Amino acid sequence: MTTAALPAPAADLVTRLRQWLPLGPEQAALRDEYLSFVGGSPHTALARDGGPEHVTGSCFVFTPDLARVLLCFHKKGRFWVQLGGHVEPVDGSVAEAAYREAREECGIDDLSPIGALLDVDRHGLGGGFRCSVHWDVGFAAIARPEAAPVASAESEDVAWWPVAALPENVPPQFGRRLAGVLAELAHQRA
């Protein structure tokens, strides 16, 4: 698959996935599945209305020391989760979508992206969602220590949590995902 024939956001994602060398074999295998999924339906894989399964972008927002992560309490899901959402027509890439969604959902405009692509996480959604599976792509950003988050219309609350003391009501495997993101960040910064 050549990226020249793909829509810009799909081409950017394929390039990022090909360049990413994940630390763990599970992430490497999932990365390869993402390449097949996007390559198999490049015009719909990133579209919110492209079908019941599509790519989304997440942004794990941290304090500069990486000791705390900003989570939102998702209205539909009824759990604490990282910021992020769907790729919109205004987004030139999944990374842009992730950072835009983070700014919108936490009310902090001054986020500094760190690292490159950090993880992939395909997960099913429960009732209340119009789609059934998100092929989520994780990125990260740093917020200034004095920045005060504000909840958006999509969440009931936004709050800082110690990465070592997450709230009880997070999605299954969220702690594992967060640990993987932090390990990837440490590896990319080394």
Amino acid identity of residue 132, one-letter, is S
Which pLDDT score, from 0 to 100, does residue 129 have? 61
Query: Tens of pLDDT along 160-171?
Result: 999 999 999 999
Q: How many alpha carbons fall within 13 Å on the CB side of residue 150?
A: 6
d(CA 146, CA 80) in angstroms, rounded, equals 22
Output helix, strand, coil percentages for the chain, rounded to the nearest 5: 30, 30, 40
**pLDDT > 80? residue 5:** no
Which pLDDT score, from 0 to 100, does residue 14 have? 96
Whether the CB-CB separation of 27 and 119 falls below 8 Å is answered with yes
Q: Domains in the chain, start-ordered, CATH in brackets?
A: 56-189 (3.90.79.10)
d(CA 134, CA 98) in angstroms, rounded, equals 13
Which pLDDT score, from 0 to 100, does residue 172 have? 87
Which pLDDT score, from 0 to 100, does residue 32 have? 97
The confidence band for 126, taking pLDDT boundaries of 50, 70 and 90, is low
Which pLDDT score, from 0 to 100, does residue 26 have? 95
**pLDDT > 60? residue 22:** yes
In which residue are the tokens 């209340």 written?
A: 128
Query: Tens of pLDDT along 50-79?
Result: 778 889 999 999 999 999 999 999 877 788
Which pLDDT score, from 0 to 100, does residue 4 have? 61
Three-class DSSP category at 17: helix
Of the two residues 139 and 133, the one the predictor is more confident about is 139
Q: What is the largest CA-CA distance in the chain?
A: 45
Identify the H or E element spanning 121. Answer: strand 111-124
| Mean pLDDT, residues 88-102 | 95
pTM assigned to the model: 0.93
d(CA 158, CA 178) in angstroms, rounded, equals 17
What percent of the chain stands above pLDDT 90? 72
